[in-house]
């Protein structure tokens, strides 16, 4: 049996997850994703060989990234959120996106995965009557606060998260250490209308980063530029300003140590 979540400062708190296929594959399976979805480490944002089969099956339906909250990214987030009202949507709205506000401590990894799996083309790979299917169905008519409360109280979601909490390459940090790490899980998903969505439970709502063409997936050059690459570029500019010098191509991301997992269609078998 997985260990239960803790209550810390009056809030349910999970164990922090690592972002890699060894953790996210069993978590997705426990939640109810079909094995026709496969999970792959992103080894490069620009190398065509590493972004193509056999290294990376295409299309990439969603991208789950864990990113340190650097000064550059923090300032950008504050500036963006300053002019945005709290999300007031219900259902899938006209955007076709379901977004959850995070109210569970250190659940950003499982909520990020949830955003990847219940939106866009990946949702077609959800097993009927699974935890994912039930969460999605219950979430559709609810507003932001009610939706967050529903997920907070969902025992199957908690069980799935905690069941993989001890997996990974390193020991999971305790809650205090995890707070100090200052890392955020972010999901990038291509919606049914072609828009690239940035989904994170600690923001004010879903953020549209632009429109992708019919043949462009979440790891296409344009999607990377609008999504994860935008954050890398923010860091590069900040580091160059601090150092007073131009970075070479190999150092263009400065000290931004992110980990990215692609969720792909194909490479697995239905059982």
Q: Would you please indicate which residues are annotated as catalytic (active-site) residues?
A: 108, 184
- Using an 8 Å Cβ cutoff, are 72 and 234 in contact? yes
Contact (Cβ atoms closer than 8 angstroms) between residue 64 and residue 199? no
Cβ-contact 194, 97 below 8 angstroms: no
Q: Which helix (H) or strand (E) holds 233?
A: helix 228-243
Do residues 175 and 13 lie in contact, with contact meaning Cβ atoms separated by under 8 Å?
yes
Any idea of the CA torsion for 145, 90, 114, 10, to the nearest 10 degrees? Answer: 0
List, as one string, the DSSP characters of 133-176: HHHHHHHTT--HHHHHHHHHT-HHHHHHHHHTTT-SSSPPPPHH
State how far the Cα of 72 lies from the Cα of 30, in Å rounded to an integer: 36
Q: Do 107 and 153 meet the contact criterion of CB atoms below 8 Å apart?
A: no
């Amino acid at each position: 049996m997985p260990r239960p979540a803790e209550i810390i400062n009056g809030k349910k708190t999970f164990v922090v997850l690592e972002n890699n296929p060894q953790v996210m594959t069993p978590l997705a399976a426990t939640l109810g994703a079909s094995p026709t979805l496969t999970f792959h480490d992103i080894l490069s944002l620009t190398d065509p060989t590493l972004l193509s089969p056999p290294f990376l099956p295409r299309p990439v339906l969603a991208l789950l990234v864990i990113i340190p909250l650097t000064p550059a990214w923090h300032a950008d987030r504050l500036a963006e959120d300053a002019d945005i009202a709290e999300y007031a949507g219900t259902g899938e709205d006209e955007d076709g996106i379901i977004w959850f506000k995070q109210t569970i401590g250190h659940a950003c990894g499982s909520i990020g995965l949830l955003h990847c799996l219940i939106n866009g083309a990946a949702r077609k790979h959800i097993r009927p009557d699974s935890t994912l299917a039930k969460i999605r169905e219950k979430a559709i008519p609810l507003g932001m606060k009610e939706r967050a409360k529903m997920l907070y109280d969902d025992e199957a979601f908690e069980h799935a998260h905690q069941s993989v909490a001890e997996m990974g390459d390193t020991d999971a940090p305790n809650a205090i250490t995890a707070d100090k790490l200052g890392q955020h899980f972010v999901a990038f998903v291509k919606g049914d209308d072609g828009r690239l969505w940035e989904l994170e439970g600690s923001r004010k709502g879903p953020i549209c980063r632009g429109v992708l063409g019919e043949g462009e997936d979440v790891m296409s050059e344009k999607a990377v530029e609008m999504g994860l690459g935008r954050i890398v570029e923010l860091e590069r500019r900040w580091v160059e300003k601090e150092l007073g010098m131009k970075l070479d191509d190999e150092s263009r991301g400065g000290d931004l140590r992110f980990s990215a997992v692609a969720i792909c269609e194909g490479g697995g078998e239905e059982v």
